[in-house]
Amino acid sequence: MKENIQMQLSCPMPKFDFTTINLGHGSGGVLTHNLLNSGVFNILQNDLLNQKHDGAVFELQGQLAFSTDSYVVNPLFFPGGNIGELAINGTVNDLAMCGAMAKYLSLSFIIEEGLPIDTFWQILNSIKECCTKANVQVVTGDTKVVEKGKGDKIFINTSGIGVIHPKANIKLTNIMDADVVIVSGNIAEHGIAIMSKRTGLEFETDIVSDTTNLNFTIQKLLDQFGEDIHFLRDATRGGLASVLNEIAKDGNYGVDIMQIDIPVNEQVNGACEMLGLDPLYVANEGIFIAVVKKEIANEVIHFLQQDENGKNAKVFGNITQQHLGQVILQSSIGGKRIVNMLPGEQLPRIC
């Protein structure tokens, strides 16, 4: 787990003549310009954004990947991160899972009127820090404000374009019989960190979100192993179980996994026991699954364990020609069961 670092505001907040964002800030008029010019453009500035066009115009070489995602997390700030970090890391990671290094992002806000400007400023700062860390630029964007009650404080959408690594060939159809399934680290930390702060559920814990950018880790992995990395996916919403089911069902493979080999932090395990949740279905934001050629499994693990995003990487399963379309887990006591897709949100149980 990451250390719980107090948020440092890298840019002091400019003097705004308002304390909360209101409908006028999304009108496109003077207030919108005030908000953008005194804050957003300055903090995120780069050559392309500074042109303030309707869109960004640029050249890119090579095969490209394009991805989009929306962020609606509640609460906005949680142990280990905030919605702004998720919005950058999420799209950077989606591109990374295609084998691409993110280059340019779009960034759109839908703000519910009444959002304190300092909350918005904190989120913007996190966005900037994440962009710097992931070496990606926000080159176009949008801000809309909706009436009180029509949103939930702030929603963010990011889309991104990235350049595919020359050695990457990541496709579901590349997965082969006997390939091994690797998880990059301890699962379920993001979801439990969020839940520990939800109204009505608050509990004391040191667990922090695992949100981070995975693009450099994936690039190094592809530099080293190229086409032998058959498939990558980040295990975000729906957790590990959902990714495995997508592999099994969309690719028509069988997947065998071993409960004993799935890395789960003890505190996370304890929280899941208490809340009646299965860590296999709890969300992650900095964890990915790699399906790789059997022969390179040990090397990949060794390689990942040297990386800050793969210290607890483990082989926990393999692809099989048996039980096509199904994920079968061998429990820690040796029994076997299906791991299915979740029918809806995981709800806490009665007793």
Partner 1 sequence: MKYLTEYRDASVVNQYLNELHKINTKPWTIMEICGGQTHSLVKNGIIGLLPKNITMVHGPGCPVCVTPLHLIDKAVYLAEERNVILCSYGDMLRVPGSKKSLLEAKANGADVRILYSPLEAVTLAKQNPEKEVVFFAVGFETTAPANALSVLHAKRERIKNYSVLTSHVLVPPAIEALVNDENNVVQGFLAAGHVCTIMGIGEYSPLVEKNKLPIVITGFEPVDLLQGILMLIKQLEKGEYKLENQYSRVVKPEGNTEAIKVIQQVFKVCNREWRGIGEIPMSGYEIRKELQGYDANVKFDIQIDKVNESAECIAGEILRGIKKPNQCPQFGKKCTPINPIGAPMVSSEGACAAYYHFSKVDVMA
Interface ranges with partner 1 (CB under 8 A): 200-201, 266, 269-270, 273, 275-276, 323, 328, 330-340, 343-344, 347-351
State how far the Cα of 150 lies from the Cα of 113, in Å rounded to an integer: 9
Check if the beta carbon of residue 212 is closer than 8 Å to that of residue 87: no
Q: Smallest gap, in angstroms, from Cβ of residue 320 to partner 1?
A: 14
Q: Specify the residue, 86 or 244, whose C-beta has the smaller distance to partner 1.
A: 244
Return the number of the residue (296 or 328) whose C-beta is nearest partner 1: 328
Q: Least distance from C-beta 4 to partner 1, angstroms?
A: 22
Beta carbon nearer to partner 1, 94 or 189: 189
Determine the Cα–Cα distance for residues 166 and 162; give it in Å rounded to an integer.
12
In this structure, are residues 123 and 111 in contact, taking their beta carbons and an 8 Å threshold? no
Is the CB of 59 or the CB of 266 nearer to partner 1?
266
Q: How many CB atoms lie within 10 A of CB 302?
A: 11
Q: Are 291 and 180 in contact (CB under 8 A)?
A: yes
The smaller minimum CB distance to partner 1, of residues 17 and 345, is found at: 345
Shortest Å distance, C-beta 324 to partner 1: 12
φ and ψ of 237, to 5 deg:
-55, 135
Residue 311 in tokens: 């210290």
In the beta sheet, which residues pair with residue 154?
111
- Closer to partner 1 at the Cβ: 62 or 348? 348
Nearer to partner 1, 176 or 201 (CB): 201
Instruction: Say which residue the tokens 């400007």 belong to.
Output: 117
Q: How far is the CB of 319 from partner 1 (least distance, A)?
A: 18
To partner 1, the closest distance from the beta carbon of 349 in angstroms equals: 5
Nearer to partner 1, 5 or 333 (CB): 333
For the CB of residue 225, give the shortest distance to partner 1 in the complex, in Å: 33
Q: CB 60: neighbour CB atoms within 10 A? A: 11
For tokens 């393999």, what's the residue?
318
Residue 334 Cβ vs partner 1, minimum distance, rounded to whole Å: 6
- 193 to each of 74, 188, 204, 292, how far by Cα in Å? 11, 9, 10, 30
Residue among 100, 236, 263, 261 at smallest CA distance from 180: 261
Rounded to the nearest whole angstrom, what is the least distance from the CB of residue 105 to partner 1 in the complex?
Answer: 32
What is the distance between the alpha carbons of residues 267 and 80, in angstroms, rounded to a whole number? 15
- Look-up of token digits 């296999």: 280
User: For residues 317 and 240, is the Cβ–Cβ distance under 8 A?
Assistant: no
